[in-house]
Amino acid sequence: MSYMDKLLLGLVLICSLHSFGQEYEFGKISKEELLEQSYPLDSAANAAVLYKSKKIRYKYDKEQGFVLITEVHKRIKLYNKNGFDYATEEMFLFDSNGVKEKMLGLTGKTYSISGDDIVETKLKKEGVFKVADSDYINKVSFTMPAIKEGSIIEFKYKILSPFSRSIDRLLLQYDIPIKKIKISLAIPEYYNFRKRTSGFLPINIKESSDRQSDLFLGNSIDYNVTKYQIDSENVPAFKKEPYSGNYKNYISTLSFELQSTQFPYSSITNYGTTWGAIARGAFKDSRFGGAMKNNKYFKDDIDQLVSEISNPLEKTKLIYEYVKDKITWNNRNALIPRKSMKKVYQEGIGNAAEINLMLIAMLKYAKINVKPILVTTNDKPLSMFPTIQGLDYVLARVRINDDILFLDATDKYGEPNVLPNRVVHGLGRLIAESGNSEMIFFRPSKISKKQNILMCEMGSDGNVRGRQRIKHTFYEAHDFRIKNTLKKEEEQRKRIGDLYSLQNISEYKISNLKDIGKPVVESFAFETSDEVEVIDDELFFSPLLFLRNRENIFKSNERLYPVDLGYGVSKSYSVNIKIPEGYEIIEKPDDMGLKLSDDIGSFMFRMKVVGNTIQISVKETLNVPLVMEQYYTELKTFYDLLIQKESDQIVLKKI
């Protein structure tokens, strides 16, 4: 190795050691940090975590036993306005029957440059908010004050948790880069955890042991403590891609699953569970299993509703629609009812567990073969092992002969086997009282369709006028209803105009919007002068006009996780263009067909001329709801070719 090579290596090592040894003392901010215009290793980052420290340890309390203490210190640089969202922090504190997690010692400051001075603005108490996020979770949130481009925010706090058996999943990566992160855990020998990692980054965990003393039942006891330490630098941002589903399923994390405990003077207690144990426990729980058996409060109403109906499918649909109409979801995911089922029935509002357990109870009463499904929605990362903490929702599954129906009565726009996105992108576990269970994937095998029919006439001046009809089916119709049912006609016209960049929309009509189960059909008249380029005596335009795909949303060269569409979809376009009199076609695109491997998808482009009318038929199909990452490059190329073909020009020349 040359002298220069050795010198460079030495400088690198010195810089690395200095960086790892650098202490981030709260309140000590440098002008260099504040003046930094962009993150050196990712100039596109809108914000970056300059430092995060998380220390987790146990402390014995004579009244509560072991208490879990988590200390957090975080410093974030906000490079521009698009990074301002990272000035808001949220913590979720568990609350069960009056036993609560508590946050203590919250301190925060915003730092900015004014001239040559560093200006500090403290976080005040009135800027901290606490609300009930769900039946057992309180959310504490705050937004740092006086932020502007270039500001640095910093805060620290401590959480005391009596729920010592549960260590929250540790995020080792964010969707913004991290300059330095330090994670430390100290776990007494009385807790036997199994650790699991996820994500695509290498995780270097240093493990060591130490001795600690505590007073236990009046006696001083020495015990072993296992220590885990993670020190990482320059952690790249997790890149959110289109159709990522819940990106927290793919981000780098460290999780701890409790297997057993054994305290002094006590025998071992096992906590490593199975889905069978969870299923049996759920049915034995009076709040869960009892809710499915209690039928006194609705018997008379259900008797009146279905007493003369013998067909089980008709009974099922009547009861399902009855619950949907009678009870309104309060937007809270839940696995367990919070209130009495009778009270929910009387008040007409409830959480996900209350509504769907009530549906199950009614179906059972009507002699329908129904079972509950425990669900991890898209709001929670999927757990890699059986745990009740990884579940947050309940559904009903009905079997009638060979037909299977999934029902969710929280969704006013739902129908059998058409579920809300929070469920479709999640995962379920069908359970039986015997303890049997089965994993359930909710992504449908049936294709949803969006059909476009466009009839138009082109003038020699390039002006195009005509009508379009759009038909949405299955999940396309469901998602359309969720987004647009409450919009007025003027809002609908604006939506169409924004979607297709059209200025003149008229005669807008929509049908079946409130007829759940039927396709939603839209139609409107339009006029545009923006789709045809006129050069001398020639007209240039794309075959699909304003319907064409203009940009490939898949931009990254590689992808490490699946493309989660939720459901397969087929988009078809039938376009008829009447050309001006006295013009002929001198150039047109060739027909083309594309197919993806393993029947994942296809594309078809066909064009023909009948008299003075151009007829174009295009069909884009993705047959699967989930495209695995190994097909990503092919999928990206597929859309590149598709967009190129839809952008090919038709040229008309005046005769």
| CA distance linking residue 570 with residue 547, whole number of Å | 15
Length of the chain equals 655
Helix (H, G, I), strand (E, B) or coil at 505: strand
Residues contacting residue 514 through CB under 8 Å, at least 6 positions apart: 485
- Give the count of beta carbons closer than 10 Å to the beta carbon of residue 87: 20
Q: Hunting for tokens 């009507």 — which residue is that?
A: 366
pLDDT of residue 61: 84
Is pLDDT at 14 greater than 70 in this prediction? no
Cα distances (Å, whole numbers) of residue 261 to 19, 63, 189, 217, 218: 39, 18, 9, 17, 20
| pLDDT (0 to 100) of residue 273 | 80
Does residue 131 register a pLDDT over 60? yes
Residue 506 phi/psi, 5-degree rounding, is -145, 170
The Cα–Cα gap between 72 and 350 comes to: 35
**Tens-digit pLDDT profile for residues 135-148:** 677 889 999 999 99
CA dihedral 273, 278, 280, 286 (to 10 degrees): 130
Q: What is the DSSP string of 422-458?
A: HHHTSEEEEE-TTS-EEEE--S-SSPEEEEEEEEEEE
Separation CA 369–CA 315 (nearest Å): 11
What is the rounded CA–CA span in Å between residue 457 and residue 571?
23
Q: What per-residue confidence (pLDDT) applies to 22?
A: 56
Assign domain 27-269 to a CATH class: mainly beta
Contact 498, 620 (CB under 8 A): no
Specify which residues 654 forms β-bridges with. 583
Q: Give φ, ψ of 363 to 5 degrees.
A: -65, -40
- Average pLDDT taken over every residue of the chain: 91
> Among 411, 399, 385, which Cα is nearest to 475's?
411
Query: Which range, of 15-19, 93-97, 173-177, 314-318, averages the lowest pLDDT?
Result: 15-19
pLDDT at 17: 39
pLDDT at 635: 97
Pick the CATH number of 448-654 from 3.90.400.10, 3.40.430.10, 2.40.30.10, 2.60.120.1130: 2.60.120.1130
Measured distance CA(211)–CA(222) in Å, rounded? 7
pLDDT confidence of residue 324: 97
CA 359, chain centre distance (Å): 26
Give the three-class secondary structure for 281.
Answer: helix
Range 250-268 average pLDDT = 89
- Residue bearing the bigger pLDDT, 232 or 248: 232
Can you give the residue ranges of every domain in the chain? 27-269, 275-440, 448-654
The CATH number of the domain covering residues in 275-440: 3.10.620.30
Whether 355 shows a pLDDT value over 60: the answer reads yes
129 has pLDDT over 50: yes
Model pLDDT, residue 271: 82
Inter-residue contact 359 to 416 (CB < 8 Å): no
pLDDT value for 217: 65
49's CB contacts (< 8 A; 6+ apart) are: 74, 75, 76, 174, 176, 177, 178, 179, 181
pLDDT given for residue 8 in this prediction: 41
Q: What is the pTM of this model?
A: 0.85
Q: List the one residue out of 585, 588, 587 whose CA is nearest residue 654.
A: 585
Q: How far apart are the first and last CA of the chain?
A: 77
CA distances from 386 to 170, 232, 275, 335, 443 (A): 18, 30, 6, 15, 21
